[in-house]
Amino acid sequence: MAPINVDVVNDSKVAPTAKKALPEVETDSNGQEHKRYSYETLVETANFLLSKTSVRPTIGVICGSGMGSYWNEGSLAETITDAQCVPYEEIPNFPVSTVEGHHGRLVFGHLGDVPVVAMQGRFHYYEGYPLWKCCLPVRVMKLLGVQTLIATNAAGGLNPNYKIGDIMIVKDHINMMGFAGNNPLHGPNDERFGPRFPPMNKAYRFEYRKIAKEVAKELNIENIVKEGVYTCLGGPNFETVAELNMLKMVGVDAVGMSTVHEVITARHCDMNVFAMSLITNECVTSYDLDAEANHEEVLDVGRMRQDILRKFVKQLADRFAKAKANENP
């Protein structure tokens, strides 16, 4: 793939005012300034990456907490063959990872025959990044040619039928942060990425969820694979008992601090989305229980499930790529 030419990528959907409308710098509620990423800036980032690797990924994977750690031999990101790694620090305009269990690099390579790029470390709102900055890599993936996003995360299980180590296919989300007006698409819209008002009722592709259930059967793991509704809270604290009971009442099955904004950004730019949560802890919904959530347990469960996750994601990438090929013969 040749370097991206903005004039070529700009197709007829480009709103002529979009470029001018984007403010260069945005100030967050703490008074900290964040340079806005224009379409052109992200094209620069994508071109830098294309110059660093010969891989032209069609699937992007976001590794959740404990699922892509460099010390975690055999982890999701370690499964990628012919890996070419680019540390976030070296990527122009990229934020850096600050959370344990998120190594902080892009891994280009192959899952089976499928060219992929994996984020070994994602960005969270609680690290101090505005949501649009947390989701910058998703737009960069799109510019790299990625058509399908597989987002994984660690989450607390609220559904009483979920056990630690279960994998929840995300069928829908509740954008709690969005209810308060915090949305990655907040601000001027650049139509080169997508429409001002994107629909979200089919965010998690039905066909891919169906494929995932078939793959779970083939791998003999259907007993630990569930399907449910995810929500993201801002973090970094884990939830109170009252908060968890409220979330349960509104239909949340698993709670985390990521993914929702990434999915919104991916759907905005018309990527196909599949997401899954590894249930790393049971949410404490009673004052009588002594247990407390902690990040170490989250990482431990990621380690415990690495073999299964690795096989599952590899198969999913293969089957999603085949499904996509059948769509566009």
117-to-81, 113, 140, 239, 262 alpha-carbon distances in Å: 11, 13, 11, 32, 15
Q: Catalytic pick from 258, 275, 276, 277?
A: 258
Q: Is 52 exposed, middle or buried (0-12, 13-18, 19+ CB in 10 A)?
A: middle
Q: How far is the CB of 235 from ligand GUN (least distance, A)?
A: 6
Residue 124 interacting with ligand R1P (CB under 6 A): yes
How far is the first Cα of the chain from the last one, in angstroms, to the nearest whole number? 20
Within residues 267-306, the interface with ligand R1P by CB under 6 A covers 295, 298
* Alpha carbon of residue 53 to chain centroid: 22
The listed partner (ligand R1P, ligand GUN, none) that binds 283, CB under 5 to 8 Å by sort, is: ligand GUN
Residue 238 interacting with ligand GUN (CB under 6 A): yes
* Short-list 145, 41, 40, 146, CA closest to 92: 41
Residue 261 interacting with ligand R1P (CB under 6 A): no
The residue with its CB nearest to ligand GUN is: 156
Tell whether 183 is in a known binding site: no
Token couple for 296: 């170490």
295 is catalytic: yes
12 is catalytic: no
The stretch among 20-28, 35-43, 47-55, 252-260 that binds ligand R1P (CB under 6 A) is: 252-260
Task: Determine contact, residues 36/26, Cβ cutoff 8 Å.
Answer: yes
Q: What is the DSSP string of 275-300?
A: EEEEEEEE----TT------HHHHHH
Residue 77 interacting with ligand GUN (CB under 6 A): no
83 is catalytic: no
Residue 257 interacting with ligand GUN (CB under 6 A): yes
Residue 252 interacting with ligand GUN (CB under 6 A): no
Considering beta carbons, is residue 58 or 281 the nearer one to ligand R1P? 281
Residue 83 in 3-state DSSP? strand
Task: Determine contact, residues 272/147, Cβ cutoff 8 Å.
Answer: yes
Interacting residues of 222 by C-beta distance below 8 A, sequence separation 6+:
213, 216
Tell whether 12 is in a known binding site: no
Q: Catalytic pick from 38, 72, 102, 230?
A: 102
Token couple for 234: 């801002």
Task: Determine contact, residues 29/77, Cβ cutoff 8 Å.
Answer: no
Residue 123 interacting with ligand GUN (CB under 6 A): no
The stretch among 35-43, 122-130, 149-157, 181-189 that binds ligand GUN (CB under 6 A) is: 149-157
Half-sphere exposure (Cβ direction) of 272: Cα atoms closer than 13 Å: 18
Within residues 77-116, the interface with ligand R1P by CB under 6 A covers 99
Tell whether 227 is in a known binding site: no
* Short-list 8, 261, 1, CA closest to 145: 1
Q: Which of the residues are catalytic?
A: 65, 102, 124, 126-127, 154, 257-258, 281, 295
What is the contact surface with ligand GUN in residues (CB under 6 A)?
A: 154-156, 233, 235, 238-239, 255-257, 280-281, 283, 293, 298
Residues at the site binding ligand R1P, with contacts judged by CB under 6 A:
64-65, 99, 122, 124, 153-154, 235, 256-258, 295, 298
